[in-house]
Amino acid sequence: MQQKNIIIIGSGVAGLAAAVRLSAAGHKVAVLEANGYVGGKLTVQHLGRYRFDMGPSVFTLPALIEELTRISGSRRKFEYLSLDKICNYFYEDGTRLTAYTDKTRFAEEVAAKLGEDKQSVYDQLKYSATAYELTSEIFMERSLHRLSTFLNLKTAKAILNIGKLKMSKTMNELNSARFKNKKTVQLFNRFATYNGSDPYQAPAIINIIAHLEHNIGAFAPKGGMYDITRHLYEISLELGAVYHLNTKVKQVKTLNDKAVGVITEQGEFPADIVVSDVDIKQLYTKLLDKRYYPEKILSQEKSLSALIFYWGIKKEFKELGLHNILFSANGEEEFKTMFGEKKPYHDPTTYINITSKVTPGDAPEGCENWFVMANMPHNSSGEPVQYVQEMRKHIIAKINRVLKTDIEAFIEVEDVLDPYLIEQRTGSSGGSLYGNSSNNKYAAFLRHANSSSRIKDLYFCGGSVHPGGGIPLGLLSAKIVSEMIAGKTS
């Protein structure tokens, strides 16, 4: 193998994973990060006596982290817990339901609380498992922009079984046909938000996301989600990757349509190969010549953003677990408002993540660290959002109604992250968490490729390119890129 000098722009989870893989392959890797810390959205902060993970809060497919540890040769251990409860669900009418990891127990819970036939739950989970089996290797583990992906038996099998995927239906159409209770439909529709999409538009195959938690398993890093960032950073350092923090890239330098390095405020970094873990729209808008701008891809609808409150709570809520969802009374109207009117909804589905439930040191004894999130439309204006305090009132009112409490009386410390701040800190266009939405049955094919068709030796990883947003897909994008580079340089 010929060693290459590789620059990675950005140290989000995909950039970190790419640093591990490319360093392990023997390349000389330098990671340039505009912030003074690594991790992108997957970072951490302390507020007084409380510790908070700032970004992603759901951990699935730990085998992807274990694979990175294995190929690095590191002796470091990445420790995590297997959860017996995936999520606690709360509805406005007082209905409460626990999604257990055990499928039989989960089906019994749905039958008892929502009146569904248990078989309908098994059928739903079987559908998501079948969809995963047929498509994961094609849509998640390979580039969709290379002919070789489609010239194999796995693809042929998927094509022969295309009817099982219900490609002509939306998530909501499939789920409404499967279940008789709107509450059950809302429960399974919510997986669309895992990639910032609308279940009333997104294809039924997005139900594949439920397979990760309900069939493979739900997990939690022992030290919180930031342990993922810390672990990948440390094993990449062991392999010789070099990090330049507070180093903002101003331009990807090209010569005769070939990436030859980057220009930063600190000077120029030459490279044989450039890998971008930057939001794809930001990359083309700010770091590349406008002649390369792919108008069609970048004009697509953006994914949802989020409004997040970080609250230190001076009380323990026994009815809450690690993951909790307080549903909107009208899910359809909520999504129509966010995607149709591009406005926040007054009764938002509210997610509460409490890592102190599994990592007690994250909060003082008798207290809890609440990560409270509501989905928001992406911020297309580029200006600071004006709805934070209004939405805070709506969220607090919802928590008080559903949990029958006065939550504001227990808030000891507070911080907030909104779509404008997300964009400022992470470069995500409009604060969209997952790049483009998946509100189209061809969405998988419409995401930006992992390599440039116009600029030689320029590659892309991260949530705004193929295969998509979220930690598992970000890790897989780094794997696709490393395999592309290996195929070229070996």
35 closest CA partner among 69, 10, 55: 10
435 closest CA partner among 312, 305, 307: 305
Domain CATH number, residue 441:
3.50.50.60
217 closest CA partner among 325, 126, 83, 99: 83
Q: Which two tokens stand for residue 259?
A: 């990436």
Give the pLDDT confidence of 161-218 residue by residue, as tens digits. 555 666 689 999 999 999 999 999 999 999 999 989 999 999 998 899 999 999 999 9
Do the beta carbons of residue 17 and residue 277 sit within 8 Å? Answer: no
Is 287 strand, coil or helix? helix
Domain-located, residue 291: yes
What is the count of structural domains for the chain? 1
Domain-located, residue 292: yes
242 closest CA partner among 463, 5, 490: 5
Domain-located, residue 453: yes
Give the pLDDT confidence of 364-381 residue by residue, as tens digits. 999 999 999 999 999 999
Domain-located, residue 476: yes
DSSP 473: H
Whole-number mean pLDDT of the chain?
A: 92
DSSP 401: H
Give the pLDDT confidence of 114-165 residue by residue, as tens digits. 999 999 999 999 999 998 888 776 666 555 444 444 445 555 555 455 556 6
Amino acid at 305: S
Give the pLDDT confidence of 236-284 residue by residue, as tens digits. 999 999 999 999 999 999 999 999 999 999 999 999 999 999 999 999 9
List the beta bridge partners of residue 353.
Answer: 323, 371
pLDDT in the model for residue 145 = 47
Domain-located, residue 25: yes
Answer yes or no: pTM beyond 0.85: yes
Helix boundaries (H) for 136-181: 153-160, 171-178
Do the beta carbons of residue 203 and residue 441 sit within 8 Å? Answer: yes
Q: In terms of DSSP bridges, do strands 273-276 and 5-9 run parallel, antiparallel, or are they unpaired? A: parallel
- Exposure pattern of 76-95 as b/e (b: 16+ CB <10 Å)? eebebeebebbbbbbbeeee
Domain-located, residue 392: no
The sheet that has 249-254: what strands, in order across it?
249-254, 259-264, 267-270
Cis preceding-peptide flag for 467 (omega within 30 of 0): yes
Domain-located, residue 58: no
Domain-located, residue 178: no
- Exposure pattern of 435-473 as b/e (b: 16+ CB <10 Å)? bbbbbbbebbeebbbbbbeebbbbbbbbbbbbbbbbbbb
Range of the domain at 443: 5-43+223-300+437-489
Q: How far is CA 158 from the centre of its chain?
A: 25
Q: Which two tokens stand for residue 199?
A: 């279940």
